[in-house]
């Protein structure tokens, strides 16, 4: 059985890996020359409820990628405003680690290849078409192309191309596979009901910061610098993707995290203003290159899905990551991608599809987001273990814990220990 995964970000890697672990032949198609997509510029895991989710996945047997990220950590147990016990992985080290791991498991990957269309037969996708017209047939498909708009969308809904890691001019824009197969996309809303949301962070070249700041970043992983009063812009928080970081503290302060580069926790920050802050006089953006002006726009293309991650209205298309909902973050992408990859194999075998139990945070978030998305208000929210409304919900339901033994017991009592490790073909 051949599973084709389209999009090699965290969700796509997780789906490909899981489908392979289940025993399928897997082809992962990535439009750029790098796996992990935004995982090359993110770097934050295990903060707040993400700790619980990561440990749940490890107990479920689907934690391979978390272990790799842990091994690439620059800092563990970091606290910063609104966030506790974060792990910051090195964005400059992680991609080859994941790539080699996928290769070692036997996942086939093709790079610099853009999928632009599908061939369908009734409610099934029969094949996909590459940019040059090449047709590739498969049994089940997983779309993890994200929801980030190409340049045109970044222009219409944002402030134009900011030259982000997706590098549309070089590799071309993403295409909505589900829409090509006839399923209308869902689009996320901002507070003012305009579409999309702006990506929430940038990277500064660490070497362009003062020696004090570099030293503190290397030692503690975090530096908080006050923003001059006249430059505080609370309004900007409303347009952010990452509502877990849309806190007053992030408007009044510059929060820098050490992920290899200095991660600046704001959507964009004009360089002129940034350089007014002591220690940042020579600061330079490295991602996006035009991080002083803009950032990428997301949530413009999500597929309606079931809690099994199958796309509604299609028999053999599954989705993960941002493509599957208003999720934010690597952890969320790995969770949804893993389930998508698992159920893709089951669908290929004609088996019934599974949902993750809502007594685990990883199951609850998938279920909860799907419910919430049905309302206009729900479309304005983002869903992440790391903060905002969903972390509140985790705490309220008693799902949040940092007690690893307790998490293992929960999974054990559901008889789901090493669930994702079982080969089903």
Partner 1 sequence: MFRYIDCIDAGTEFCPCNLADTGECIICSQLRGKTFCDCLNWKGSCIFQEYYWNHNKSKKVREFAEYVVVDKKYIRDDLIKFDIQVNAHLARQLNSIGSYVFLKNPKSPEFFSTPISIMKSNLKNNQITVVVKIIGVKTKNLGLAGDKILLKGPYWNGIQGQVFLKGLKNSTLFIAARGVAAAPALMVAKKLKLKGNEIIVALDVGRHSENFAKKDFTDLGCKIIDVSMVDYSKYSLKEEFIKIIAELKKKYEFKVILSAGSDEFHELLLNHLYQFDNSLKFATVNNGIITCGEGVCGSCEAKLHNHLIKTCKQQYNPAELFIKPKGEV
Q: Which residues 190-209 are close enough to bind partner 1 by CB under 8 A?
A: 195
Cβ neighbours of residue 11 closer than 8 Å, sequence gap 6 or more: 144, 146, 320, 321, 322, 323, 324, 333, 334, 336, 337, 340
Q: In what order do the strands lie in the sheet with 108-110?
A: 108-110, 25-29, 2-6, 140-143, 317-319
| 83-89/44-45 β-pairing | antiparallel
From 116, 286, 354, 414, residue interacting with partner 1 (rule: CB under 8 A): 116
Radius of gyration of the chain from Cα atoms?
20
Smallest distance, Å, CB 156 to partner 1? 6
From 18, 40, 52, 153, residue interacting with partner 1 (rule: CB under 8 A): 153
φ/ψ (deg, to 5) at 147 = -135, 10
Distance CA 219, CA 49 (A): 25
Cβ neighbours of residue 194 closer than 8 Å, sequence gap 6 or more: 157
Query: Which CB sits closer to partner 1, 185 or 355?
Result: 185
Verify binding: residue 156, partner 1, rule CB under 8 A.
Answer: yes
**3-state DSSP call for residue 118?**
strand
Verify binding: residue 182, partner 1, rule CB under 8 A.
Answer: no
Query: Which CB sits closer to partner 1, 106 or 182?
Result: 182
Smallest distance, Å, CB 34 to partner 1? 18
Smallest distance, Å, CB 149 to partner 1? 6
Query: Which CB sits closer to partner 1, 122 or 133?
Result: 133
CA distances to 30, 174, 422 from 22, in Å: 21, 28, 6
Q: In what order do the strands lie in the sheet with 262-264?
A: 222-226, 253-258, 262-264, 202-204, 285-287
From 111, 129, 289, 419, residue interacting with partner 1 (rule: CB under 8 A): 129
Smallest distance, Å, CB 8 to partner 1? 18
Query: Which CB sits closer to partner 1, 172 or 357?
Result: 172
From 23, 81, 173, 357, residue interacting with partner 1 (rule: CB under 8 A): 173
Verify binding: residue 172, partner 1, rule CB under 8 A.
Answer: yes
Binding site for partner 1 (CB under 8 A): 114, 116-117, 119-120, 129, 131, 133, 135, 149-153, 155-156, 160-161, 168-170, 172-173, 175-176, 179, 185, 195, 300-301
């Amino acid at each position: 059985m051949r599973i084709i995964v389209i999009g090699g970000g965290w969700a796509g890697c997780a789906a490909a890996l899981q489908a392979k672990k289940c025993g399928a032949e897997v082809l992962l198609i990535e439009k750029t020359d790098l796996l992990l997509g935004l995982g090359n510029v993110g770097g934050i895991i295990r903060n707040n409820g993400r700790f619980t989710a990561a440990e749940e996945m490890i107990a479920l047997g689907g934690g391979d990628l978390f272990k790799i990220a842990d091994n690439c950590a620059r800092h563990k147990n970091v606290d910063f405003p609104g966030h506790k016990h974060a792990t910051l992985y090195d964005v400059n080290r992680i991609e080859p680690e994941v790539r080699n791991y996928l290769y070692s498991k036997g996942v086939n990957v093709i790079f610099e290849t853009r999928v632009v269309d599908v061939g369908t037969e009734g409610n099934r996708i029969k094949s996909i078409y590459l940019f040059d017209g090449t047709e590739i047939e498969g049994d089940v498909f997983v779309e993890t192309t994200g929801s980030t708009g190409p340049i045109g969308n970044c222009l219409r809904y944002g402030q134009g191309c900011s030259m982000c890691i997706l590098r549309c001019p070089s590799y071309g824009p993403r295409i909505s596979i589900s829409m090509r197969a006839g399923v209308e996309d869902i689009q996320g809303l901002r507070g003012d009901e305009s579409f999309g949301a702006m990506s929430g962070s940038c990277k500064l070249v660490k070497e362009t910061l003062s020696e004090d700041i570099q030293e503190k970043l290397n030692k503690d992983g975090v530096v908080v610098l006050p923003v001059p009063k006249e430059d505080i812009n609370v309004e900007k928080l409303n347009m952010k993707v990452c509502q877990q970081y849309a806190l007053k503290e992030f408007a009044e302060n510059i929060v820098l995290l050490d992920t290899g580069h200095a991660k600046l926790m704001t959507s964009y920050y004009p360089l002129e203003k940034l350089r007014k802050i002591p220690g940042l006089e020579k600061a330079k953006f490295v991602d996006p290159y035009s991080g002083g002006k803009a950032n990428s726009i997301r949530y413009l293309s999500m597929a309606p899905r079931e809690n099994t991650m199958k796309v509604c209205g299609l028999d053999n298309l599954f989705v993960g990551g941002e493509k599957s909902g208003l999720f934010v973050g690597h952890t969320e992408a790995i969770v949804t991608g893993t389930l998508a990859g698992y159920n893709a194999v089951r669908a290929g075998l004609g088996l019934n599809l599974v949902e993750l139990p809502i007594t685990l945070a990883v199951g609850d978030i998938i279920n909860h987001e799907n419910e919430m998305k049905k309302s206009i208000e729900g479309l304005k929210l983002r869903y992440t273990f790391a903060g905002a409304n969903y972390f509140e919900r985790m705490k309220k339901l008693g799902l949040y814990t940092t007690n690893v033994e307790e998490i293992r017991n929960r999974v054990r009592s559901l008889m789901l220990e090493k669930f994702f490790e079982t080969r089903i073909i």
